[in-house]
Amino acid sequence: MCAGTAVKRGRRVLIIERSKKPAEKIRISGGGRCNFTNIFATPNNFLSNNQKFPISAFKRYDQHDFIQLVEKHAIDYEQRDHGQLFCLGPAQQITDMLLSEAQGAKLLTHTSVAELQKIDDTFTVKTNKGVFTAPSLVIATGGPSIPKMGATGFAYKIAEQFGLNIIPPRAGLVPLTLDENTLKSMDGLPGVAIDARVACGKKSFTEALLFTHRGLSGPVILQISSYWHQGQTITIDLLPNQNAGEILLGAKKDTPKKDLHSVLSSLFPKRFAAKLCLWTDCHGRLGETSDKKIKSLAQHINAWTITPSGTEGYRTAEVTLGGIDTKELSSKTMEVKSTPGLYFIGEAVDVTGHLGGFNFGWAWSSGHAAGEVV
């Protein structure tokens, strides 16, 4: 995006790519269909130590601008839940589109950087394919999430070299892990999915929750993981917008001979219903179950509290939280205030989107912002 924007301004551009192919994260995103943006994207969909930082870039290039670009290249797409936009064909279409837009820029793949420095007003980059110089240098190398795709903390090393502050990075949009005893209590549940509202502090999301062999995953867990910190408790509402106590006590009054497990199985997958009965020691007929036990069960359904032991880390994280401190950058151009000609864009910066195409949206917006001025 940055290269294409700069080329259209008549700039000579060289893209140095460490991998054999460009845009591997685009290729694997969205199950191979690329969730390339979100129709509802706003600056409020991002986490940053400076929540106002993304506003400028988004005002000048937002999801609607990118959608126009997708339509210009005749790429068919569809809108899914929560405003997510996906290609109907392979994700490679988005990569091909961006390469087409950047036609005129030179792309060097499988190229590693050995040394980088600035002398006077010129940047010098030494690589395994030669030495290159330029008055402007853009770092668009992301964060360390999904290292098997070639992701590294390269951007942070460059930031440190130029004396920039870095907000401590950590895994975001990542499954949460549970301790051994909690996992044993959930034996038999991996693969079970339930729509739930999950809260951490004042932040909450409502989407699908998935039980795994390591703990909890699914869209709602990935979302809340970006707000969760070690030691914090999350609260899970397994019946969002419904009062479990009223439902169960009403069923007890209307159908006292009905088995409690049967009632729960009408609300949840059978395997999970059985676990609820086991965890709360609620068995047998509704009429033979005390109101106190039913209320305790209802509390477990509407406000189940769990303290995760950690996350699965960068190995499965979809994005990296933290990064280059936005105080070091111009929100309009992404240029480093203390080092003219040096820019950081995308995931390397302390701007992290929610799940659902928002992080690609930040890549397009911040890339365009830098491309307008480099």
Nearest to 198 by CA among 226, 170, 231: 226
Q: What are phi and psi of 169, to 5 degrees?
A: -75, 150
pLDDT at residue 147, rounded to an integer:
92
Which residues in 287-329 belong to E strands, given as ranges? 304-306, 310-311, 319-324
Give, in degrees to the nearest 5, the angle at Cα 326 between 325 and 329: 110
Q: How confident is the model at residue 334 (pLDDT cuts 50, 70, 90)?
A: very high
Per cent of the chain over pLDDT 70 is 100
Q: How confident is the model at residue 349 (pLDDT cuts 50, 70, 90)?
A: very high
Per cent of the chain over pLDDT 90 is 99
Query: CB burial class (10 A; 0-12, 13-18, 19+) of residue 76?
Result: exposed
Residue 36 has pLDDT above 90, yes or no: yes
244-305 maps to CATH 1.10.8.260: yes
Please tell me the distance from the alpha carbon of residue 181 to that of residue 353, in angstroms, as a whole number.
33
Q: Which two tokens stand for residue 76?
A: 């068919």
Residue 257 has pLDDT above 90, yes or no: yes
pTM over 0.85: yes
Task: Indicate the CATH number for domain 2-170+320-371.
Answer: 3.50.50.60
Over residues 223-244, the mean pLDDT reads: 97
pLDDT at residue 149, rounded to an integer:
87
Superfamily (CATH) of domain 176-236:
Translation factors (2.40.30.10)
Residue 236 has pLDDT above 90, yes or no: yes
Q: How confident is the model at residue 40 (pLDDT cuts 50, 70, 90)?
A: very high
Q: What is the pLDDT of residues 294-320, one digit of tens each?
A: 999 999 999 999 999 999 999 999 999
Q: Which two tokens stand for residue 295?
A: 């209320």
Q: Would you tell me how many other CB atoms lie within 10 Å of the CB of residue 45?
A: 21
Domain boundaries, the chain: 2-170+320-371, 176-236, 244-305
pLDDT at residue 150, rounded to an integer:
87
